[in-house]
Structure 1
Amino acid sequence: MARSIDPQPDELLSSWLHRLAIANGIAPRPFASVLELGDGMWSPRLDLRLPREVATLRTDRTDVPHETISAMAMTGPALTPLLLPLRENVRRNRSTWMQYCPQCLAGDAVPYFRRPWRLATRISCFVHGRGLRDRCPACRSGVASFDQTELMPQHFCARCAFDLRTASKVFVKAAARRLERSIDDICKVEMAKGSMMIGDLTSRLLGAPVVAGVSLGKTLTNLSTSSRIRCFEWLADKPVSWLMTDEDDAVARRRRLVLAAGGHDRLIPHFSDFMDKHQGSPMSVRSPPTGADLAALLEAYSRATDDAIKTKRHRVLAVPRG
Structure 2
Amino acid sequence: MSSWLHRLAHANGVPPRYFGAVLGVAGETWSAQLDRHLPDSVRRLLLDHTAICPDEIDGLCLANSPLSTLRLRLRTRPQDAGTSTAQSCWLQFCPSCLGEDEVPYFRRSWTLATRVSCFRHGCRLRDRCPSCGQSLAPFRQARLVPQQYCAFCDAPLAKPTGPASTGARRLERLIDDLLRLDSAERAQDDRKSLAVQLMKHPVPVRTATSTVPFLSHRVRYNFFQRLSERQIEVRDPTERGPLTFWLGLARASENHKGLVGTLRDRLGETAGPGPASSSREPDLAALLRAAIRLHQSR
Tell me the TM-score normalized by structure 2: 0.78
**Residues 1:228 and 2:220 are matched in the alignment:** yes
**Residues 1:146 and 2:144 are matched in the alignment:** no
Q: Does the CA contact (< 8 Å) of 2:202 and 2:209 recur in 1?
A: no
Root mean square deviation of aligned Cα: 3.1
Structure 1 CA distance for aligned equivalents of residues 142 and 266 of structure 2? 58
Structure 2 CA distance for aligned equivalents of residues 171 and 206 of structure 1? 29
Q: Say if 1:207 and 1:27 are closer, same or farther in 2 by CA, change over 3 A.
A: same
Q: Does the CA contact (< 8 Å) of 2:227 and 2:250 recur in 1?
A: no
**Residues 1:115 and 2:108 are matched in the alignment:** yes
Q: Does the CA contact (< 8 Å) of 1:48 and 1:75 recur in 2?
A: yes
Q: Equivalent residue for 2:182? A: 190
**Residues 1:74 and 2:66 are matched in the alignment:** no
Structure 2 CA distance for aligned equivalents of residues 58 and 229 of structure 1? 37
Structure 2 CA distance for aligned equivalents of residues 29 and 168 of structure 1? 27
Q: What is the aligned counterpart of 1:40 among 25, 28, 32?
A: 28
Q: Which runs of 5+ in 2 are unaligned?
A: 234-242, 274-281, 293-298
Q: Which amino acid in structure 2 is aligned with residue 242 of structure 1?
A: F
Q: Which amino acid in structure 1 is aligned with residue 129 of structure 2?
A: C
Q: Equivalent residue for 1:216? A: 208
Alpha-carbon distance, 1:201 to partner: 4.7
Q: Does the CA contact (< 8 Å) of 2:271 and 2:290 recur in 1?
A: no
Alpha-carbon distance, 1:103 to partner: 0.3
**Residues 1:202 and 2:223 are matched in the alignment:** no
Q: Does the CA contact (< 8 Å) of 2:17 and 2:139 recur in 1?
A: yes
Q: Equivalent residue for 2:15? A: 27
Q: Which amino acid in structure 1 is aligned with residue 245 of structure 2?
A: W
Q: Which amino acid in structure 2 is aligned with residue 15 of structure 1?
A: S
Query: SS state of the match for residue 63, structure 2?
Result: coil
Structure 1 CA distance for aligned equivalents of residues 145 and 35 of structure 2? 21
Alpha-carbon distance, 1:190 to partner: 0.7
Query: SS state of the match for residue 217, structure 1?
Result: strand
Q: Which runs of 5+ in 1 are unaligned?
A: 1-12, 246-254, 294-322
Cα deviation per residue 1:209-255 (whole Å; 9 max; x = unaligned)?
A: 23xx766222212211011110000121348951599xxxxxxxxx8
More contact order relative to length (CA 8 Å, sep ≥ 6): 2
Q: Which amino acid in structure 2 is aligned with residue 81 of structure 1?
A: T
Alpha-carbon distance, 1:79 to partner: 1.9
Q: Say if 1:274 and 1:47 are closer, same or farther in 2 by CA, change over 3 A.
A: same
Structure 2 CA distance for aligned equivalents of residues 164 and 215 of structure 1? 32
Q: Which amino acid in structure 2 is aligned with residue 36 of structure 1?
A: G
Structure 1 CA distance for aligned equivalents of residues 223 and 143 of structure 2? 37
Alpha-carbon distance, 1:172 to partner: 1.7
Query: SS state of the match for residue 2, structure 2?
Result: helix
> Identity of aligned pairs, percent?
35
Q: Does the CA contact (< 8 Å) of 1:130 and 1:169 recur in 2?
A: yes
Query: SS state of the match for residue 175, structure 1?
Result: helix
Q: Equivalent residue for 2:85? A: 92
Q: Say if 1:288 and 1:82 are closer, same or farther in 2 by CA, change over 3 A.
A: closer
Q: Say if 1:243 and 1:225 are closer, same or farther in 2 by CA, change over 3 A.
A: closer
Q: Does the CA contact (< 8 Å) of 2:201 and 2:211 recur in 1?
A: yes
Query: SS state of the match for residue 186, structure 2?
Result: coil
Q: Equivalent residue for 2:152? A: 159
Q: Equivalent residue for 1:18? A: 6
Q: Does the CA contact (< 8 Å) of 1:272 and 1:284 recur in 2?
A: no
Q: Equivalent residue for 2:129? A: 136
Tell me the TM-score normalized by structure 1: 0.72
Q: Say if 1:256 and 1:197 are closer, same or farther in 2 by CA, change over 3 A.
A: farther
Alpha-carbon distance, 1:168 to partner: 2.8
Query: SS state of the match for residue 85, structure 1?
Result: coil
Q: Say if 1:256 and 1:228 are closer, same or farther in 2 by CA, change over 3 A.
A: closer
> Which structure is larger by alpha-carbon Rg, 1 or 2?
1
- Number of equivalences: 263
Q: Say if 1:233 and 1:208 are closer, same or farther in 2 by CA, change over 3 A.
A: farther
Q: Which amino acid in structure 2 is aligned with residue 172 of structure 1?
A: A
Query: SS state of the match for residue 164, structure 1?
Result: coil
